[in-house]
Amino acid sequence: MEPKKNPKADVGRNSALYFVIGLAIVMLLVWRGLEWKKYDKTNDYDISLNVEDQLDEEVPMTEQIKTPPPPPPPAAPEVIEVVEDEEEVEETVIESTETSQEEEVMEVEEVEVEEVEEDISVPFAVIEDVPVFPGCEGSSNKKACFQEMMQKHIRKNFRYPEIAQEMGIQGRVAVMFTIQKDGSIGNVRLRGPDKNLEAEARRIIEKLPKMTPGKQRGRAVKVPFSIPINFKLQ
């Protein structure tokens, strides 16, 4: 029995060549698709505005402005008659204040200038001679004795205000005062948390005795002093 297929007709003989040709055609089509560009259509008509000139309209004429007539010239002033004054006027003669060499010059006695005492205040920490508290006259360290006697005076006269106790008020009152040139206490200033505590602190300071005033270079001066008073409930 003879075979139906021709042995010379080999279908797969050129398959590799056909594959390469097909692949090349596909790659060409892909490349052309990627490089393809499309542009918008442009219009060739004129896009300028079609504006008609409207020069045929009638333009109203400007009315002539009537200027007012100039004001009339001012009237001529009346003629003033000059009348001579019959009364004679006495002329004022100004005498010269310059002195001549012939006049004698009076000698002026020397004028005594009274020295005015300067109101100087020297702080307690830097004054040469501190104020002396009564009882510290014989102490070698009068500054330490002064502060110790101040604490004793405060403890001796201290009295807690009843109103502040009932209200539970406590705190520190800063007291500032000045020992004057005559040894008295003045210019008392207070700052505290309550008026009742400040009033008690003022009462204590006003009971201070008169002291020997502080001195700077041998002259009595004012000495400001400050001390805190603590009000603490038990």
- The pLDDT of residue 55 is 45
Question: Cα(159)–Cα(200) distance, rounded to whole angstroms?
Answer: 7
- The pLDDT of residue 71 is 79
Burial status of residue 225 (CB atoms within 10 A of its CB: 0-12, 13-18, 19 or more)? buried
165 or 90, greater pLDDT: 165
- The pLDDT of residue 148 is 93
Q: What are the C-alpha distances in Å from 126 to residues 180, 223, 225?
A: 16, 10, 11
- The pLDDT of residue 45 is 45
pLDDT digits (tens, 9 = 90+) for 21-52: 989 999 999 988 888 776 666 555 444 444 44
In order of their start, the domains of the chain are 142-231 (3.30.1150.10)
> Model pTM greater than 0.75?
no
pLDDT digits (tens, 9 = 90+) for 124-135: 888 899 999 999
Are 187 and 206 within 8 A, CB to CB? Answer: no
Question: Cα(35)–Cα(198) distance, rounded to whole angstroms?
Answer: 99
